[in-house]
Amino acid sequence: MKPIRKAIFPVAGLGTRFLPATKAMPKEMLTVVDRPLIQHVVDEAREAGIEHFIFVTGRGKGAIEDHFDVHFELDATLTDRNKQAELEQLSRDLPGAGQTSFTRQQLPLGLGHAVWCARDIVGDEPFALLLPDVLVQHTPGCLAQMMQVYREQGSDANMIAVEEVPPERVHMYGVVGVGAAVGKAFKITQMVEKPKREAAPSNLSITGRYILQPEIFAILENQPRGAGGEIQLTDGMVRLAQMQPFLGFKFAGQSFDCGSKIGFLAANVSYALAREELAPEFRAELKRILKDL
Ligand code: UTP
């Protein structure tokens, strides 16, 4: 079994649901409390033992690259002002030298295409894939939980994080069919993108965290465009599932779809309430606002 050392973060999307905020700023730099979305997911990947962070970027996404670089003037100013805690935090947040790669998806042709753009950097080894607009609030993080279960099951399988959604909402998600248990995971029998409620094989939705085998790249290479004219990752995974096992894993934790406004706002509330130094004052403020409604 090959270890999983690398993770892909697709960040080339246009973020149209957050316009105008995302006109000149990447969606992935929107902050949940005081950390950009992309920092939250990089933290999750580092905690899971990932050593190399691959960002698939696009036009206008330079701020992400700058975010994961040393900011010399800022460091110098913080040093002058004796802001030791801030300096240490900045340094902790930064992956080490040579641990990041940036490649460009020249056109936003879909998630499957974004993943394929990272093929040469990943090479012939399994990798993690984290969608930065999904946050999972839990310790250990979602990917750390997956890695543990992946190691325990002991084979070169693919693994997808799944969670229960209300049956009336399955038409909004990729949904999996549930087969036999494999340790703490289960065999996925089918994957369907946005099924009608009556046709859905379960109410377990695909949640933005994956462990994939490198054979996915050859499949994505000649993957025809699917829904919305985009090269869909799920279509590629359906084809890979004809050759390799796919496991589903129900993670512990609360997920937030920060690609939607409600999910993003809810994440801010929940993450702020989890911060000791903010929670008492913020809770009082929330109560005051809600009372007036
Ligand atoms: P989304 O479809 O949620 O992001 O993709 P989007 O297209 O940016 O957002 P909206 O719908 O227009 O508001 C999930 C993740 O995949 C990346 C996005 O950057 C996001 O992090 N993505 C999506 C790509 O990297 N390339 C693509 O072609 C599409």
User: Is the pLDDT score of 216 beyond 80?
Assistant: yes
The 10 Å Cβ neighbour count of residue 205 is 21
User: Is the pLDDT score of 103 beyond 80?
Assistant: yes
Which of 23, 27, 59, 258 has most ligand 1 atoms within 8 Å of its beta carbon, as the pocket-test mutant? 27
Q: Which domains does the chain have, with CATH numbers?
A: 6-292 (3.90.550.10)
Spacing, Cα 72 to ligand 1 middle (Å): 31
56 lines ligand 1 (CB under 6 A): yes
User: Is the pLDDT score of 1 beyond 90?
Assistant: no
Percent of the chain predicted with pLDDT > 70:
100
Closest ligand 1 atom to residue 107 Cα is 28
Q: Where are the beta strands (DSSP E) in the chain?
A: 6-10, 31-32, 35-36, 52-57, 100-104, 127-130, 134-137, 158-164, 174-182, 185-193, 204-212, 246-250, 254-257
Mean pLDDT of the chain: 95
Burial 207-217 (b: 16+ CB within 10 A, else e): bbbbbbbebbb
pLDDT digits (tens, 9 = 90+) for 129-147: 999 999 999 999 999 999 9
Which of 8, 14, 106, 264 has most ligand 1 atoms within 8 Å of its beta carbon, as the pocket-test mutant? 14
Record the pTM.
0.95
Instruction: Mark out the alpha helices in 31-166 (DSSP H runs).
Output: 37-47, 62-67, 72-80, 84-93, 111-116, 119-122, 142-153
pLDDT digits (tens, 9 = 90+) for 147-206: 999 999 988 999 999 999 999 999 999 999 999 999 999 999 999 989 999 999 999 999
